[in-house]
């Protein structure tokens, strides 16, 4: 008697890799960005509590120094804003709301998040939330 027992035990190794959203990846991206921003602010002399490079008082009123200080302040302002965005994104990671558009709530595309980990809006609302 031919044994036609269907020995089709499905041995497909169901890779139950927990589909862990790569939030840890974004977190490290954000942390790298955060430390870079802080380093740049430190370099400009605008890290915590300081308000700029210590310009020599004797030259403080030359127009060149004034211009340089103005540029540094503008740059530092931008860096601080970006730093806030990054801190905000890390906060959203902690809260579990990271990666969704703050305007419409859709998931922001991973490509966009990789390019800009602190993105708060989907591509559609990026320019006008």
- By CB under 5 A, name the binding residues for Zn ion: 101, 103-104, 122, 125
Taking the complex as a whole, the smallest distance from the CB of residue 88 to Zn ion amounts, in Å, to 16
Residue 9 burial class via C-beta count within 10 angstroms: exposed 0-12, middle 13-18, buried 19 and up = exposed
Taking the complex as a whole, the smallest distance from the CB of residue 32 to Zn ion amounts, in Å, to 26
Cβ closest to Zn ion, residue 72 vs residue 106: 106
Q: What share of the chain is helix, strand, coil (3-state, %, to 5)?
A: 50, 0, 50
- With CB atoms as reference, the residue minimizing the distance to Zn ion is 101
* Distance separating alpha carbons of residues 47 and 116, to the nearest angstrom: 23
Taking the complex as a whole, the smallest distance from the CB of residue 125 to Zn ion amounts, in Å, to 4
Taking the complex as a whole, the smallest distance from the CB of residue 109 to Zn ion amounts, in Å, to 11
Cβ closest to Zn ion, residue 83 vs residue 120: 120
Cβ closest to Zn ion, residue 20 vs residue 128: 128
* Distance separating alpha carbons of residues 57 and 69, to the nearest angstrom: 13
């Amino acid at each position: 008697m031919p044994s036609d027992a269907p020995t089709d035990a499905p041995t497909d190794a169901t890779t139950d890799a927990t589909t862990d959203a790569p939030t840890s990846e974004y977190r490290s991206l954000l942390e790298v960005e955060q430390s870079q921003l802080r380093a740049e602010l430190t370099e400009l002399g605008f890290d915590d509590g300081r308000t700029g490079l210590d310009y020599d008082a004797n030259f403080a009123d030359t127009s060149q120094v004034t211009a340089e200080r103005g540029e540094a302040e503008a740059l530092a302002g931008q860096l601080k804003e970006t730093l806030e965005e990054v801190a905000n994104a890390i906060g959203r990671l902690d809260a579990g709301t990271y990666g969704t558009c703050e305007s419409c709530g859709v998931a922001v595309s991973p490509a966009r998040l990789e390019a800009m980990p602190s993105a708060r809006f989907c591509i559609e609302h990026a320019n006008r939330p």
